[in-house]
Amino acid sequence: AEYGMILVETQGKVGIIRLNRPQALNALCDQLMSEVGEALRAFDKDPGIAAIILTGSEKAFAAGADIKEMKDRTFPDVIFDDFIGDRWETVLEIRKPVIAAVAGFALGGGCELAMMCDMILAADNAKFGQPEINLGIIPGAGGSQRLTRAIGKSKAMEMILTARMMDAAEAERANLVCRVVPLAELIPEAVKIGEKIASLSGPSIAIAKDAVNTAYETTLTEGVKAERRMFLGLFATADQKEGMAAFAEKRKPAFTNR
Ligand code: HXC
């Protein structure tokens, strides 16, 4: 496909989507979000791809939704063209793991997009924030909910009510990100995570992602029940037989995604 605002490449079985609108610090306009959605869906369908990295530039993952595009929209405009529901949440439909590799600013919708991914790997220069309050609005793509679940009420309140940004070290302490790495290592390290995932059984990876996500959607008892069904279901795969046989035989498993 031809894209104007993203760059798409693959490294082995890892698909990389790079937001590429440098003149606006990757502000997430309609076209950019449509392209991200299209590229995510294409990788999700591609049997040659096992994991997806979503990244931006060294200066900005994304500085938020495009304020200049939003500023004149009226309530009737946005109620009938639900730009968040239509274009922003595609990442939630992707079955393969999506790793947000964040360098520089991840603000507003940029922070929300990163939080919709399965994990956030941060460069040491990453800055996270929900500065919508400065514009007279609040987060609109899940930020007030996902940030609160990730870092807890007190820190989320401070960030959302005062627009204070969090640097990478604080984001790691607060469990917003899985790890912080030097900027130069961001993509290589994200690719390493993707390659490890690609070496494993695809069905178990998809089910594992589903199981962790279930923790956010339900009670502990229901979540544990769901996990049990998913766990037992994987005994129907050839890869479970292969993985356990390989362990018993002291050899490396050769998974077939069956
Ligand atoms: C549109 C943006 C933008 C944005 C930056 N730009 N962020 N354009 N929407 N969110 C543009 C600037 O207008 C400028 O364009 C160019 O990118 C470079 O930005 P500067 O401000 O000159 O860069 P700098 O001084 O380095 O400051 C960086 C910054 C600042 C601190 C990140 O740009 C900033 O505060 N941006 C807005 C952050 C924000 O409020 N995000 C939340 C948006 S609301 P020109 O043409 O002047 O060079 C949101 C709601 C989501 O995300 C709801 C769900 C849909």
**pLDDT exceeds 90 at position 250:** yes
pTM score > 0.80 for this model? yes
> ipTM greater than 0.95, yes or no?
yes
CA of 121 from ligand 1 middle (Å) equals 22
* Closest listed residue to residue 123, CA positions, set 93, 168, 92, 80: 168
pLDDT at 84: 87
Interval 147-158: pLDDT, tens: 999 999 999 999
Catalytic residue among 39, 104, 112, 190: 112
**pLDDT exceeds 90 at position 82:** no
Interval 220-231: pLDDT, tens: 999 999 999 999
* Closest listed residue to residue 54, CA positions, set 84, 28, 85: 28
Assign 215 a pLDDT band (cuts: 50, 70, 90).
very high
Q: For ligand 1, is residue 180 a contact (CB within 6 Å)? A: no
pLDDT at 1: 74
Q: Whose CA is nearest to atom 17 of ligand 1?
A: 24
Spell out a b/e string for 21-33, using b for 16 or more CB atoms within 10 Å of the CB, else e: beebbbbbbbbbb
Q: For ligand 1, is residue 64 a contact (CB within 6 Å)? A: yes
Q: Which residues contact 167 (CB under 8 A, 6 or more apart)?
A: 126, 127
β-strand pairing of 127-129 with 166-167: antiparallel
- Contact assessment for residue 212 and residue 95, using Cβ atoms and an 8 Å cutoff: no
pLDDT at 2: 86
